[in-house]
Amino acid sequence: MEQKIRVLVAKPGLDGHDRGAKVLARAFMDAGMEVIYTGIRRTPEQIAEVAVQEDVDVVALSCLSGAHNTLFPKVVDLLRGKGADDILIMGGGVIPEDDISFLKQHGISEVFGPGTPLATCVNYIRSHVKKEA
């Protein structure tokens, strides 16, 4: 048996700044993970549906427009509505400290700001992905 961690790197919202998302996608690939990238300007509905279809272990959300408080919790709710509550959801972008606790209360398991080392994100996934028995 060969289990691979599958990650959806997703950009909700309207901003086109995908440097971080793409760098992360490459880092995840280099760490041996299978990465599905959504491209920019995706709706929470699209992201949740793709996450389920692709049976990913992780959804990594990136938003730099400031719309994270609106969009991230929506993705969480939609995934729960589809019964996919075993997916680890993490977020990143230009996110003020004050919003981090709000996002965590709304189901985002961890928030990574600018300057987070890639290894931190990779290790976080490795130690937090819920692999079924």
Partner 1 sequence: MFDKESVGRLKAARSKWQQGADKIPAGKTCKAYADCTTSSGIDVKLLYTPEDVGEMDYMRDLGFPGEYPYTRGSQATMYRGRLWTMRQYAGFATVEESNRRYKYLLNQGQTGLSIAFDLPTQLGMDADHPLSEGEVGKVGVSVSSLADLEVLFDGIPLDQVSTSMTINAPAAVLMAMYIALARRKGISADKLNGTIQNDVLKEYSARGTYIYPPAPSMRIINDIFAYCSKEVPNWNTISISGYHMREAGCTAVQEVAFTLADGIAYVEAAVKAGLDVDSFATRVSFFFNAHNNLLEEVAKFRAARRMWARIMKERFHAQNPKSLMLRFHTQTAGCTLTSQQPDNNVVRVTLQALAAVLGGTQSLHTNSRDEAVSLPSEDSVRIALRTQQIIGYESGVADTVDPLAGSYFVESMTDDIEEEALKYIAKIDELGGAVKAIERGFIQKEIQNSSYQYQLEIESGKKVIVGVNKFQIQDKPAKNLMRIDSALYEKRHKELAAMKGRRDATKVEAALAQVKAVAGSDANLMPAIIDAVDAYATLGEVCDVLRSVFGEYQPDASF
Partner 2 sequence: MDVKLGVLAGDTRAVARAITWVENGDPRGAEVIRGVYGSTGRAYIVGVTGSPGAGKSTLVSRLAALLAARGQKVGILAVDPSSPFSGGAILGDRVRMFDVALTRDVYIRSMATRGSLGGLNRATRMAARILDAAGFDWIFVETVGAGQSEVDVHDVAYTTAVVMAPGMGDDIQAMKAGIMEIGDLFIINKADRDGADRTATQVESVLQLSMTTGWNPPVLKVSAEQNTGIESVVDTIERHRTHLVASGKLDALKIRMAKLDVLEILKARLADTMKQQLDQPAVQAELEKVASKQSDPYSLADIIFEESWRNT
Nearer to partner 2, 23 or 96 (CB): 23
Q: What x-and-dash track marks residues 17-36 binding partner 2 by CB under 8 A?
A: --------xx-xxxxxxxxx
In terms of Cα–Cα distance, which of 13, 44, 37, 55 is closest to 106? 44
- CA 60 – CA 69 distance, rounded (Å): 15
Contacts of 1 (CB under 8 A, 6+ apart): none
- CA–CA gap between residue 28 and residue 62 (Å, rounded): 14
- Per-residue interface string for the shown chain with partner 2, residues 58-97, x marking contact by CB under 8 A: ------------------------xxx-------------
In the chain, which ranges are E strands? 6-10, 34-37, 58-63, 88-93, 110-112
**String marking each residue 47-66 x if it binds partner 1 according to CB under 8 A:** ------------------xx
Q: Does the protein bind partner 2 through residue 46 (CB under 8 A)?
A: yes
Binding positions for partner 2, rule: CB under 8 A:
1-4, 6, 25-26, 28-39, 42, 45-46, 49-50, 52-55, 82-84
